[in-house]
C-alpha cells in the first residue's frame, strides 16, 4: 500500500460566488402549458362548455366528474381538427370498466346432517 505524505502546511479552500442572480424575465413570453379542469358533464355539450370559466386551448384536459353523466370519469383533450378545436375523449377512469353485472338465480337446497 502506498504512503501518502502531505508536505504543505497550508490548506486553501475555494468556494463558489457569494451571491447567485437568477433572472427569469429574459426573453419573450411563451405559450402557457396545458391545464386540467373538472367539468360537470360532457364538455362537448354546449350547455356544459358554457360553464367552463377558463380560457381553454389546444392540449388542455377536461375530466367529467358529474356522476349522473354518461361520460362520468372520462378524460377529454382539446385537439385541433380541420382548423377548429374540439374536445375528444381519451380514456375512461372508471374502475369497473371491464366488469359487468349479471342477474343470477341461486338454487338453495336443504341439507340434512346425521348426528
pLDDT in tens, 41-55: 999 999 999 999 989
Q: Is residue 80 part of a domain?
A: yes
Give the residue-averaged pLDDT of 56-73: 94
State the pTM of this model: 0.59
Q: Is residue 106 part of a domain?
A: no
Q: Is residue 17 part of a domain?
A: no
Between residues 98 and 69, the one the model is more confident about: 69
φ and ψ at 55, to 5 degrees?
-85, 105
Q: Is residue 55 part of a domain?
A: yes
Q: Is residue 6 part of a domain?
A: no
Q: Is residue 27 part of a domain?
A: no
Q: Is residue 26 part of a domain?
A: no
Domain span at 82: 36-92
Q: Is residue 71 part of a domain?
A: yes
Domain count, the chain: 1
Greatest mean pLDDT among 13-17, 31-35, 86-90, 101-105 lies in 86-90
Amino acid at each position: 500500500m502506498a504512503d501518502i505524505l502531505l508536505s504543505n502546511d497550508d490548506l486553501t479552500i475555494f468556494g463558489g460566488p457569494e451571491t447567485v442572480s437568477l433572472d427569469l424575465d429574459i426573453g419573450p413570453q411563451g405559450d402557457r402549458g396545458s391545464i386540467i379542469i373538472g367539468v360537470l358533464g360532457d364538455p362537448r355539450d354546449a350547455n356544459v362548455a358554457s360553464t367552463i370559466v377558463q380560457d381553454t386551448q389546444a392540449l388542455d384536459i377536461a375530466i367529467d366528474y358529474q356522476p349522473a353523466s354518461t361520460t362520468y370519469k372520462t378524460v377529454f383533450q382539446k385537439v385541433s381538427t380541420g382548423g377548429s378545436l374540439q374536445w375528444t375523449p381519451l380514456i375512461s377512469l372508471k374502475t369497473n370498466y371491464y366488469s359487468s353485472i349479471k342477474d343470477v338465480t341461486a338454487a338453495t337446497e336443504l341439507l340434512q346432517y346425521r348426528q
